[in-house]
A and B are shown apart, each in its own frame.
Chain A
Amino acid sequence: MSDQNDAPDTGRMCPELLQSPPRVINVGLAVFAADLDAQDVDVIHVDWRPPAGGDEGLARLLSMLAD
């Protein structure tokens, strides 16, 4: 169990995320994407809306069928 909690050995190199400015997909508050855009960061804002028009039962079914 304990060695499962050690971080995976993805190589001795520095992880990709920390090596350069992040390239971001923003899902949610538009202001976050706007702020990143203003700093010339690569960002795509997703025009998100609740899945299945807010129907909880269908949303739950979708999450079970997701791949």
Chain B
Amino acid sequence: MDSTSLAGAIRSANSKALEILLQGDPVLIDVLPARDLIPELKEHTILHAGPPIEWDRMCGPMRGAVAGVAVFEGWAGDLDEAGVQAAKGCFEFHPNHHFSAVGPMTGLTTCSQPLLVVENRATGNRAYCTVNEGLGKVMRFGGNDESVRDRLAWIRDSLGPALGTALRCCGGIPLRPLVTRGLTMGDEMHQRNVACSSLLLRELAPALASAVADHSDLSEMLAFMGSNDQFFLNIAMAMGKSIMDPVRNIEQSTVVTAMTRNGTDFGIRISGLGDEWFTAPVEMPAGLYFPGFSAADANPDMGDSTIIETIGLGGFAMAAAPAVAGFVGAGSVAEAAGITARMREITLGEHPEWTIVSENYQGVPTGIDIRLVVETGIVPTINTGIAHREPGIGQVGAGVVKAPMACFEKALRALGERLGLS
């Protein structure tokens, strides 16, 4: 193929990819047990965040979470036994991404956990994510003691089914307009979700009240969701997955369809390169720490939550959330605007509805193009929570982390080979 027709082919492939991306119409429709949604998710199978990884390379928090979830599912009697089983290879590990799912931080998904279901009404596909456990000592940060497992059980037995009933009753909650409002209220949907979490609770509360007969149960659920500023995070993640999955596998497209980390490796997938993962070691986040903690305590970058940046939110929408910019260092509104401006250099388009008030309603930068990343040297900027490197302690700070350039360079070279260039 000569250079002008290749140029044309890439341009139209990317055009198509961007069109599908921007047409995404995500609706939160249900909450159901994982085993009912993902047939492959049998006993002893654990889905995790990030690109593929085995036990021997997992970081501390992920190992802690694996042990905890094994006990929670009843595959091991206690945490030590779980650890032994894991080391012996008794569990099968797969990325969430391979099964239409995503999970924050350690992101472990197992058969009995209830999963949020988001359907992309434009394309018909669905994506899943666990329900957010709350802050502090939770499994997504590697927490695994009895309090963690009890909470997971309550989510499995009470909150999950109630949410499912409520959502089925009210016909689902369209997420696109909700996010549009959240952006005007200072959310970026990764590190900051308080507005969207509040808007969601407002929409859900009546149906939830109908679905839960017992007042004290209802009260407990409302308090649980109401006290969690990050409740919407998991919904935003499933939303991102439902939007990006239909963008996969467009021949010659250079658009990034997934970015994700497992605490050891950072992985990306490109539309024109199918299901291949391009990985490189994760980087350390840079940010602010809660009192008593410092960078020495930080775990390397982890979680499927970078699906949020992949659709143009999170770090990409930082100009809408100047409060988050405080974690970047300079803390100024200009700094936040600067980051979004940088992300415009590496994206192909703008979202038509998700706009930033302070930028005269310019849409968030969407459609990451690996060619632009490699050319400019600008890598995606990600807003992230920072976990303690020891399992079970929880979040110790929040900040910004960069996607490793090596992933994009590898992908570009692979694309060159695939197209017969050298």
A interface with B by C-beta (< 8 Å): 49, 51-53, 58, 61-62, 64-67
Contact = CB atoms under 8 A, between A and B. Distances in A.
State the main secondary structure of chain B at its contact with A. helix
A61 B421 contact: yes
Contact of A65 (B376, B409, B415): B415
B11 interface: yes
B375 interface: yes
Given A62-B374, A62-B375, A67 B8 contact: yes
Interface string B374-385: 111100000000
Sort chain B's interface into a size bin: 20 to 34
B230 interface: no
Interface in B365-422: 371, 374-377, 409, 412-413, 415-416, 419, 421
Contacts of B14: 67
Nearest to A53: B377
A51 B6 CA distance: 20
Contacts of B413: 58, 61
Nearest to B9: A67
Interface string B213-248: 000000000000000000000000000000000000
B38 interface: no
Nearest to A63: B3
A65 B416 contact: yes
Contacts, number: 42
A52 B377 contact: yes
B6 A64 contact: yes
A49 B14 CA distance: 25
29 contacts: A49-B376, A49-B377, A51-B374, A51-B375, A51-B376, A52-B375, A53-B377, A58-B374, A58-B412, A61-B412, A61-B413, A61-B421, A62-B371, A62-B374, A62-B375, A62-B412, A64-B3, A64-B6, A64-B421, A65-B254, A65-B371, A65-B415, A65-B419, A65-B421, A66-B7, A66-B371, A67-B8, A67-B11, A67-B14
B10 interface: yes
A49 B378 CA distance: 11
Interface string B1-30: 001001110110010000000000000000
A61 B10 contact: no
B7 A67 contact: yes
Contact of B374 (A52, A64, A67): A52
A66 B6 CA distance: 9
Nearest to B12: A67
Contacts of B374: 51-52, 58, 62
Contacts of A58: 374, 409, 412-413
Residue of B8, B11, B376 ringed by the most chain A CB atoms within 10 A: B376
A28 to B, nearest CB: 16
